[in-house]
Amino acid sequence: MCTDCGCQIRGQRQTLAKPSKVKEMFLGPPERVLQGLLQKNDQQANLNRQRFDRHGILVINLMSSPGSGKTALLEATLKALKGELRMAVIEGDLETENDAKRIRALGVTAYQITTGTACHLDAHLVAQALDHLPLQDLDVLFIENVGNLVCPASFDLGHHLNVTLLSVTEGDDKPQKYPVMFRAADLLLITKTDLLPYLPEFSMEKARASQRALATKATLLPLSAKTSEGLSSWTEWMSRQRAGYQSLLEKGLSLKPRVAQEGKALHLERPEMTFKPVAG
Ligand SMILES: Nc1nc2c(ncn2[C@@H]2O[C@H](COP(=O)(O)OP(=O)(O)OP(=O)(O)O)[C@@H](O)[C@H]2O)c(=O)[nH]1
Ligand SMILES: [Mg+2]
């Protein structure tokens, strides 16, 4: 599906390549094939969302580069909200059950998706995972997407909200450098703030300005999973989102996530690249 970044139809994504679909997929120009796959993804995402809405489960998609602290955030959140909310986690990684094991160690249900070579989750993978979760007993489902700062933002999984993490060690200029991901965010968490004393070059104000330059209205919250600084602002944000979601459900409505349209285009055609002459 993703010709630029190396995604392939492997592992649990093989449903996309069932014999009946193979003909359909490989007939016609690649753009049409890819367009068809993206449309199929969106159809499945809507089915997933209908399923979540029937159970009243708010679904939050966590996205960031590898190692920004998604699982650590989940661990801290699950501990903080234990007994208050019924939660479960879908983990996405190329390989290993490591993250799911970390979640299960807290007594919380977690299903691990391994994508093989694909750098993002898709709606079909999430649909398969749902058969392993007690949907009737959940208030919130977290989906930890594959660590990658571009592709995950282009796929609707059937979730409701996007939360993007940026750790202070990555630098305050990343929103403008990776706009696809940061534009899709409903909330930007600046993580690992306990490390700020060792990173005088990181400026929270510059990170805010870099995010503002993208003209997004997403809230920015600083947070440390290690010290729990900022954790209550995050859980309060979640509870406001839940209240908003529930009132939409009462009106027969739902909440659709932002999906990066420009990122979708990246998956359909090779983007025009700009080359700058090198001096000297
Ligand atoms: N100092 C500090 N370290 C943190 C914090 N959050 C996470 N880490 C560390 O950062 C590393 C990566 O954290 P993870 O939670 O595994 O990151 P992740 O985003 O889930 O990584 P992937 O799933 O591989 O994409 C681990 O060594 C964590 O202990 C934090 O708030 N402060
Ligand atoms: Mg993780």
- Give the Å distance between the CA of 103 and the centre of ligand 2: 10
Bridge partners (DSSP) of residue 61 are 143, 162
Is the pLDDT reported for residue 3 higher than 60?
Answer: no
- Give the Å distance between the CA of 276 and the centre of ligand 1: 35
Q: Which atom of ligand 1 is found nearest the CA of 68?
A: 19
Buried b (16+ CB within 10 A) or exposed e, 23-59: eebeeeeeeebbbebbebbbebbeebbebbbeeebbb
Least confident range of 47-51, 80-84, 233-237, 268-272: 268-272
User: Closest ligand to 197 CA?
Assistant: 1
CATH 3.30.830.10 describes domain 11-266: no
Q: Which atom of ligand 1 is found nearest the CA of 165?
A: 19
- Give the Å distance between the CA of 38 and the centre of ligand 2: 25
- pLDDT tens track for 243-260: 999 999 999 999 999 998
Q: Which atom of ligand 1 is found nearest the CA of 146?
A: 25
Mean per-residue pLDDT, 88-92: 98
Separation between Cα atoms, residue 131 and residue 276, nearest integer Å: 50
Mean per-residue pLDDT, 208-222: 94
pLDDT band at 194 (very low <50, low <70, confident <90, very high): very high
Q: Which atom of ligand 1 is found nearest the CA of 99?
A: 23
Tell the residue nearest (CA) to atom 9 of ligand 1: 69
229 vs 30, which has greater pLDDT? 229
- Give the Å distance between the CA of 167 and the centre of ligand 2: 13
The reply to whether the predicted model has a pTM over 0.85 is: yes
- Which residues lie with the beta carbon below 6 Å from any ligand 1 atom? 64, 66-72, 99, 147, 191-192, 194-195, 224-226
- Give the Å distance between the CA of 44 and the centre of ligand 1: 31
DSSP 58-124: EEEEEE-STTSSHHHHHHHHHHHHTTTS-EEEEEEESS-SHHHHHHHTTT--EEEEE-TT-SS--HH
Query: What does the pLDDT read at residue 87?
Result: 98
Average per-residue pLDDT for the chain? 89
Query: What does the pLDDT read at residue 59?
Result: 98
Burial class (CB in 10 A: 0-12, 13-18, 19+), 202: buried
Query: What does the pLDDT read at residue 262?
Result: 66
User: Which H helix or E strand runs over 25?
Assistant: helix 19-26
Least confident range of 100-104, 106-110, 181-185, 268-272: 268-272
